[in-house]
Amino acid sequence: MEITKGMKAPDFCLRDQDEKDVCLKDLKGRFVVVYFYPKDDTPGCTIEAIEFSGLSKEFDKSDAVVLGISPDSGKSHCNFIEKHGLTVRLLSDPDKRVIKQYGAWGKKMMYGKEIEGVIRSTVLIDPQGRIAEHWRSVEPKGHAADVLGIVKRVR
């Protein structure tokens, strides 16, 4: 699916690391940052999760919720959170339904080979449930700060 600015964000309900349901419709009225990442506890994913966690108070002040989504299990998310002291909420999408809805699944280069997998990307959903921004194929370092800057600007 092609995600474009201004479109209604595809609705979803997924379980977080504590096996609690998180539904987009329940977050209406707030900004929602959804970042898609390939795998818990890998180098790039760890950098990204630590940076989003480090800015969690700033996102809170901007009335923005940050959600990380990967195909990993809740147990894997719990281990990842505990190991790195993360504060972001991580959602499990084992069948990749939401990942695909948001265009975060496809061909990508890894170690010089083309593979199919989760494409590191982020969407910012506005309080009305529309896509305010979409970052495709992001670099983990510094990305959380870039997203926070946009949240503050569009508020």
Q: How many CB atoms sit inside 10 A of residue 38's CB?
A: 18
Please tell me which residue in 13, 23, 45, 78 is annotated as part of the active site. 45
Q: Cβ(49)–Cβ(88) under 8 Å?
A: yes
Two structure tokens written together for 75: 């147990």
Q: How far is CA 11 from CA 90, 101, 102, 121, in A?
A: 17, 9, 10, 17
List, as one string, the DSSP characters of 75-86: HHHHHHHHHHT-
78 among known catalytic residues: no
Q: Which residues on neighbouring strands pair with residue 34, listed in sequence order? A: 67, 123
Residues with active-site annotation: 45
